[in-house]
Amino acid sequence: QSALTQPASVSGSPGQSITISCTGTSSDVGGYNYVSWYQQHPGKAPKLMIYDVSNRPSGVSNRFSGSKSANTASLTISGLQAEDEADYYCSSYIFSSTRFGTGTKVTVL
Amino acid sequence: QLQLQETGPGLVKPSETLSLTCTVSGGSISSSSYYWGWIRQPPGKGLDWIGSIYFSGSTYYNPSLKSRVTTSVDTSKNQFSLKLSSVTAADTAVYYCARHDTYGGDLGGFGYWGQGTLVTVSS
């Protein structure tokens, strides 16, 4: 089962905006609006940041936003902060299954 | 506040069966709105979905692991469990249990996670 494709790393300076892409196919990302994004700090469990493409769970900063175009979903972090440095994973529903992305390491310069 | 906790052996011998249990507190495992899943993460690598189960016993599995995976649910104990057979060193990972939304059987995001438990496969 192939993972969704994410860039290995993205970096930005404090205050800047960065975008992480998550590329799949018409069978997963492009076929359903069930794309989620997770933040994972070292040694910690992942934390849900975005669900159903663009919805934020209660308590997640509005600096995090999600979108989708065709087979590619995106996570944008605006006003980058030091605490945003972490690994980020996307996931998507694919019929009777769930698929994670390859993961992106975000570095705050 | 919903909490999930994984328990089970931290060391499993090659060719044996890995068994983990996830205990849910602060909410009912019998909710119709959620599936209960297992995800693993090998050291230094990404997340890998193993499978998910509904309170009724309905299951979804990762096709690449399906032949070795069994999940079960015990609503009386508010627990669900994972068994992975014929393990090898490649199955060494942190194993997480988590809750995810379901929309008529389609699977949404994992909103609550356990802290994870490291399982090492070694003789």
Convert the pLDDT of each residue in A60-78 to its tens digit: 999 999 999 999 999 999 9
Residue B46: half-sphere exposure toward Cβ, Cα within 13 Å: 21
CB contact under 8 A, B96 and A93: no
Tell me which chain A residues have a C-beta less than 8 angstroms from the C-beta of B60. Answer: 96-98
* pLDDT above 70: residue A1: no
**Comparing C-alpha atoms, which of A17, A21, A1 is closest to residue A9?**
A21
From first to last of the 123 residues of chain B, give the pLDDT tens digit.
999 999 999 999 999 999 999 999 999 999 989 999 999 999 999 999 999 999 999 999 999 999 999 999 999 999 999 999 999 999 999 999 999 988 877 888 999 999 999 999 999
In chain B, which residues have their Cβ closer than 8 Å to the Cβ of A66? Answer: none
* Contacts within 8 Å (CB) and 24+ apart, B68-77: B71/B38, B73/B29, B73/B36, B75/B29, B75/B30, B77/B23
Task: Label residue A85 by pLDDT band (50, 70, 90).
Answer: very high
pLDDT tens digit sequence for A13-44: 999 999 999 999 999 999 999 999 999 999 99
pLDDT for A2 equals 84
Confidence of residue A57 (pLDDT cuts 50, 70, 90): very high
What value does the mean pLDDT of chain A take? 96
CB A71 within 8 A of CB A53: no
| B3 interfaces chain A, CB cutoff of 8 Å | no
Q: Which residue from B minimizes the CA distance to A93?
A: B107
- For residue B42, list chain A residues with Cβ-Cβ distance below 8 A: none
Task: Show residues of chain A in contact with B52, CB under 8 Å.
Answer: 98
Alpha-carbon radius of gyration of chain B: 14
Cα of B83 to nearest chain A Cα, Å: 18
| Contact state of B110 with A97 under an 8 Å Cβ cutoff | no
Given B47, B63, B108, which is nearest A46 (Cβ)?
Answer: B47
8 Å CB contact of B49 and A32: no
DSSP state of B89: G
Distance CA A56, CA A61 (A): 8
SS3 per residue for chain A:
CCCEECCCEEEECCCCCEEEEEECCCCCCCCCCCEEEEEECCCCCCEEEEECCCECCCCCCCCEEEEEECCEEEEEECCCCHHHCEEEEEEEEECCEEEEECCEEEEEC
